[in-house]
Amino acid sequence: MSYGQVSPGSNALVGDARSLNQLKLQAGQASPAAIKETAKQFEALFMREMIKSMREATMKSGLLDSPQGDLGADLLDQQLAVQMSGRPGGLSDMIARQLTRQMSGTAAATPDSSAPAAATPGAGAASPISRAGPSTAPLGNTAPSARQSEFVQRHSAAAAKVAQASGIPSGFMLGQAGHETGWGKSEIKTADGSSSFNLFGIKAGPGWQGKVAEVTTTEYENGVAKKTVARFRAYDSYEESFKDYARLLTQSPRYAKVSQQTGSVQAFATGLQRAGYATDPAYATKLSRAINSTLQLQRAFA
């Protein structure tokens, strides 16, 4: 069996989105055992990302760093994720029940959960630079929603234009814009109710001379969420928002390293969190999930 292909009952971990989708399709056509294995793989992927985030957040001395060491750590993370998943009463049991209900056609219709529950900018509010709404999509649901698809298609042209000029991948920008706005459901509004066209939650600091939108958002202080009124930048178009975001990442010393980390979704998202883009302690994990969903959609559109 090649890497990335998993059959029910194996102890391997799927290595790409295509193999994961094949596994989910197999669960829909096969036995309860296949559904159980699918749920275990979803949980293992989640555990692997969590372990990887914890490892990347750990300070390193640099003395023993090497490509071989990184590969060994990645393989260890994979094995730990597999060993920690599939335990009774764990996340995989919940995912298996959800899949079983969906396959039997008894699952009740639920609202689009890829966006924040409130229409106002919500939790994850950022530092003096920006705020970020949370992504509340179920961990077991990796397939992009119709709202996500519509959002990506709507803003693809503007993102592609700015990507060509800035070097920041359009999928990264679209994913972050989707995360910040709840995929268009929670865009920042001006006082008269019109759109601010601010897709990235960038705040209006003392040096900002343009239009402003004041809204109630959620900030985190020492891990505790609280409501506050903040001033955000307002633009005349969505393309201006993409351009301003690209300028922020490529011209601000604060994000100089981040703009050079576009080779990895996880490194890019972690870099933004470490640079203080948002105060949400889980920002990197949520942003990585949003960007990966966007990249999956872009591959489907290609």
Question: In which element (H, E) is residue 217 found?
Answer: strand 211-221
132 pLDDT exceeds 70? Answer: no
Domains, the chain, ordered by start: 17-104 (no CATH), 146-301 (1.10.530.10)
State the average pLDDT over residues 25-32: 61
Catalytic: 70?
no
Q: pTM for this one?
A: 0.55
136 pLDDT exceeds 60? Answer: no
Question: Which listed residue (37, 43, 244, 280) is catalytic?
Answer: 244
Digit-coded pLDDT (tens) for 60-79: 656 656 766 677 777 777 77
Residue 31 tokens, joined? 């036995």
Catalytic: 219?
yes
157 pLDDT exceeds 70? Answer: yes
- Cα–Cα distance measured from residue 93 to residue 234, given in angstroms and rounded to the nearest whole number: 45
Q: Output the pLDDT for position 13.
A: 57
pLDDT band at 24 (very low <50, low <70, confident <90, very high): low
Nearest to 142 by CA among 185, 201, 101, 98: 98
Say how many CA atoms lie within 13 Å of 201 toward its Cβ: 33
Question: Which listed residue (43, 219, 240, 280) is catalytic?
Answer: 219
Query: Would you give the DSSP letter of residue 130?
Result: B
